[in-house]
Amino acid sequence: MKNNVPKFKNLKKNWPNKLGKKPWKKKNDIRPILTLLVICLILASLVPYISESQQFTDNDIWLNVLEKNFSEGKYKEILIDGNKAIATVTGSWVTVNGITKIERDITIIPANDSLSDLGLKNPEIETNILVKDKTSEQFWGEMLPTILAFILFVWIAFVLLSRMWGMANNAMTFGKSRAKLFDQSKDKILFKDVAGADEEKEELSEVVDFLKNPKKYKAIGAKIPRGTLLVGPPGTGKTMLARAVAGESNVPFLSISGSEFVEMFVWVGASRVRDLFTNAKKIAPAIIFIDEIDAIGKKRGPGTGGWHDEREQTLNQILTEMDWFDNDTNVIVIGATNRADVLDRALLRPGRFDRKITVNLPNQPDREEILKIHARDKKVSKDIDFKALASSTIGFSWADLWNIMNEAAIITARYNEKEISTPRIQQAFERIVMGLQKKSLVMNEEERKITAYHEVGHALLGKLLPNSDPVHKISITPRGGALWVTWFMPEKDAILTSKAKFLDELSVLYGWRAAEEVFFGKEFITTWASNDIERATSIARNMVMRYGMFDEIGQENFAGERGMWNHLGAEWERAIISEETQKNIDLQVQKTLKEAYNKAITLIKKHKKLHTQISEDLLEKEEIDREEFDTYFEGMKLA
């Protein structure tokens, strides 16, 4: 069946990248020219004053002195210029540093006094009295500051108006949708480009089939789900899956973030929702993708006023728009969030977001395929073992795996190498997990020794205890936020954690404090084990209070909070624990931690010689990897 989808070439002419906005046409900016013109005019106005100050030595005198000197015939001429009287001394030349200058006297004439009032009109005194006319030179001298001020005002007004016009344009788009339209001719993504997530792609394939063949579903009376919600941790590829649905369906893909709906202005969010759905219906069949939908879809409560009301109005508008969908409205809404627990129930009911698809972290085969996809556009060595790399990246998301390959490419380029090799990928992996090496941070020999025995304490216990993860690397080189590290790496994906594994992990965490006590004595224990003790205490309390792993306490959850619903929304109250129960919990936690610590002490004392050997080698090498660490235990029967 032919899919009646508008061509993107024609669509883009009437549908710019930012929906509801026209591309801004950049015009020639004359502000730099005006600025330069103002500067030139200011400099030009200063030239006469600068030249005059270089030609004359002017003396300021009182008016009565001017009248006295005039009556004594000391002046050759007097020039009346505005409210100034400039008198040139007869036959007086002054030579300064080889430069001869005319000596002049200058005084201020009162505004209403005439030449007669000043006594300057005396025919017996041979002094030339000149009154300066309003010549062109005088005009520009007087008017130039006014003209410059006017030009400066025009320039400032032009700048302010241009900015206000830009703000006005933005204000006109407050109610317009900010969704980005992806051009499928350039940015097309298919399911094959999203490795793993087979179950998720299978569920989304129904949406693809509906968009391709809507008449098949309409003929039998079936209605495709109006909304699909993708839920999963950050970086698991929810956006990629949504784009793959659009790519497989060959329909327009409108993407927007939930935070872009809400502004400080009232009703803006609801207006943008209406505009988004209106535009989507015009180019249907289409997909609307709302990322981080929890920004506007949180549970509604009794709060009123301000942004809270605006967010609720935006959510109500989304619910209304989805209710108006009929079987002929070929628009699918896909939302993505990693906080599905905070979404309003009205958003999740049938008829709105009918489908909820959980996008989990990839397993080992999926991680291998994802790494290969990320390596497509990079020059990689043929001997890279993607399977081994996938097995060492347990818990990594799609984005994390991309980051590893990208960091490896950056490191390879830094060393001017032509291909990404396995050592560069390993270097990128360690940089992301443990951080960069801090070569500038230097410890003294005593601190290095304590650190080495500490880390070997963790590693040794991890090797001896059967339920601990394998040791990947031991390092006393400062990295990132840690000054040292013992890196344990699980060999396979695990969903559940047993009580035995928790207990072994507690002993491993006490490896530092146990090593300090055995090798340096109780009086020399340090503060460096604080983080290990904090983590161990947290694990023990969860075992006792949350997981119900001890019969002495019982199979009841004494941790966290209990949720209660009423007509106002969600209310929460803490679990009620009696004093006797709390005392028993504390005693069980203390008993569990003490047993784990005693086990650590016993094992380190039993293998004290081996502990010392590994620690001394670590002091010399600073890093020991898994292969080298395992050689210390060859032929040894482990506990």
Active-site residue numbers?
455
Cα-Cα-Cα-Cα dihedral of 445, 446, 448, 452, to 10°? Answer: 130
Per-residue HEC secondary structure of 560-575 comes to CEEEEEECCEEEEEEC
Torsion over CA: 82, 88, 94, 100 (sign):
positive
First-residue to last-residue Cα distance in the chain: 67
Place of tokens 């899956």: 241
- DSSP E strand boundaries for 313-438: 331-337, 353-358
Q: Which of 290, 298, 151, 281 is nearest to 228 (CA)?
A: 290
Give the burial class of 362: count Cβ atoms within 10 A of its Cβ; 0-12 exposed, 13-18 middle, 19 or more buried.
Answer: buried
Residues with Cβ < 8 Å from 134, sequence gap 6 or more? none
Cα-Cα-Cα-Cα dihedral of 526, 531, 536, 539, to 10°? Answer: 170
- The beta-carbon contacts of 53-56 under 8 Å, at least 24 apart in sequence, are 55/101, 55/102, 56/101, 56/102, 56/104
The values of phi and psi at residue 425, to 5°, are -65, -40
Fill in the DSSP letter of residue 349: S
Q: Copy the structure tokens of residue 242.
A: 């949504």
Residues with Cβ < 8 Å from 190, sequence gap 6 or more? 244, 247, 248
How far apart, in whole angstroms, are the C-alpha atoms of residue 49 and residue 178?
58
Place of tokens 């004594």: 72
Give the burial class of 299: count Cβ atoms within 10 A of its Cβ; 0-12 exposed, 13-18 middle, 19 or more buried.
Answer: middle
Per-residue HEC secondary structure of 31-75 comes to HHHHHHHHHHHHHHHHHHHHHHHHHEEEEECCHHHHHHHHHCCCE
SS3 content of the chain, % helix, strand, coil (to 5): 50, 15, 35
Q: Is 218 helix (H, G, I), strand (E, B) or coil?
A: helix
How far apart, in whole angstroms, are the C-alpha atoms of residue 166 and residue 265?
18
How far apart, in whole angstroms, are the C-alpha atoms of residue 239 and residue 289?
8
Q: Copy the structure tokens of residue 107.
A: 């005084």
Residues with Cβ < 8 Å from 198, sequence gap 6 or more? none
How far apart, in whole angstroms, are the C-alpha atoms of residue 539 and residue 462?
17
Q: Do residues 380 and 406 make contact, with C-beta atoms less than 8 angstroms apart?
A: no
Q: Copy the structure tokens of residue 137.
A: 């030179």
Q: Do residues 19 and 177 make contact, with C-beta atoms less than 8 angstroms apart?
A: yes
* Residue type (1 letter), 467: N
* Residue type (1 letter), 101: K
